[in-house]
Structure 1
Amino acid sequence: MHPWLESLLALLALPRFGLSTLFLVAFVSATLLPLGSEPALFGLLKLNPELFWPAVLVATAGNTLGGMVDWWMGYGVHHVADKWGHSASHVKALEWLRKLGPKACILSFLPVVGDPLCAVAGWLRLPFWPCAGWMLVGKLGRYLVMTTALLEAFPGTLPAAGG
């Protein structure tokens, strides 16, 4: 591997702490795949409690970017969903989302419905950057609350390696 690429990866990923893995897990978990990033964040912080803010911010960035991918997927499949989505509950949910607008993306932190909500925001062609901003706020709030609660519920640190 080229030396410049190695230094770039070292700078961005901080591989000795596992932040790159945390970013990837958070990104994938924000897509429509069933994966949770909170256990990865919690495990990383149990091993490296001094990385609280970098880890929360890396997880938030990865999860927000994953939500943005969901938005683009929804934007791209708009014409396909129009063929099957005309039930009364579907129409009512779409009206609610249109009325609320990009602010609805703050609910992207919710389990089960949060990630599809990002895709629906794209499908409705809600403005991308305001949606991304509200996703960021919701996901940051989730990581702060979940991580703090887990660290409080399971105090203490793991023993040092080799000791």
Structure 2
Amino acid sequence: MEELLLEYGLTGLFILSFLAATFLPVVSEAALGALILAGMDPYACVAAATAGNTLGAMATWGIGRWGSEPFLTRMLRLSAAQRERAVRIFARYGSWSLLLAWTPILGDPLCAVAGLFGLSLKRFVPPVLLGKLARYAALAYLLS
């Protein structure tokens, strides 16, 4: 996989980061690390990963906004416990909870719940972008 990632570079990182934010079991951090350790510009890698992951989160938001209840439960494998936890956190902290959109297990349900609650993209994108940028920047800093 590393050879394939190095062949596609930032485009591959962008795509993997997008997919990682859409309920698929993809690890974008490993891809970011592989490219940085292979000598690619850390700033460009952070930008590509952040953009892809943020757009993937927006897709998950859209699924929450316009997808049906059975689709969220069955197709996205969003368990009742995951959804209920995300609903509680989102109800308590509102759009600020989306700073946690980068976290495993909780992040994707939070993005879907934000869509379910009808949160506008104007309020959705800033905290999601900030949280994801901070995560990738911290990882790049540790690897540089």
2:91 to 98, 104, 107: 98
Match of 1:69 in 2: 59
Which has more helix, going by share of residues? Answer: 2
Measured on the aligned residues, the alpha-carbon RMSD in Å equals 2.7
Equivalences for 1:120-159 in 2 at 5 Å? 120-149=113-142, 151=143
* Aligned mates of 2:88, 2:28 — CA distance in 1: 31
* Aligned mates of 1:120, 1:55 — CA distance in 2: 29
Question: Do residues 34 (structure 1) and 25 (structure 2) align?
Answer: yes
The Cα offsets for residues 110-161 of structure 1, whole Å up to 9 and x where unpaired, read as: 1111122111110111122211111000000111112322x16xxxxxxxxx
The Cα offsets for residues 90-116 of structure 1, whole Å up to 9 and x where unpaired, read as: 3x7525413422111111011111122
* Aligned mates of 1:147, 1:19 — CA distance in 2: 14
* Aligned mates of 2:46, 2:34 — CA distance in 1: 12
Supply the AA of the counterpart residue of 2:29: E
Contact map agreement 1:31 1:67 (CA 8 A) in 2: yes
Count of residue pairs brought into register by the alignment: 132
Q: Are the structure 2 counterparts of residues 96 and 43 from structure 1 closer, same or farther at C-alpha, using a change threshold of 3 Å?
A: closer
Contact map agreement 1:30 1:64 (CA 8 A) in 2: yes
What percentage of residue pairs aligned between the two structures are identical? 36
Supply the AA of the counterpart residue of 1:67: A
Q: Are the structure 2 counterparts of residues 99 and 48 from structure 1 closer, same or farther at C-alpha, using a change threshold of 3 Å?
A: same
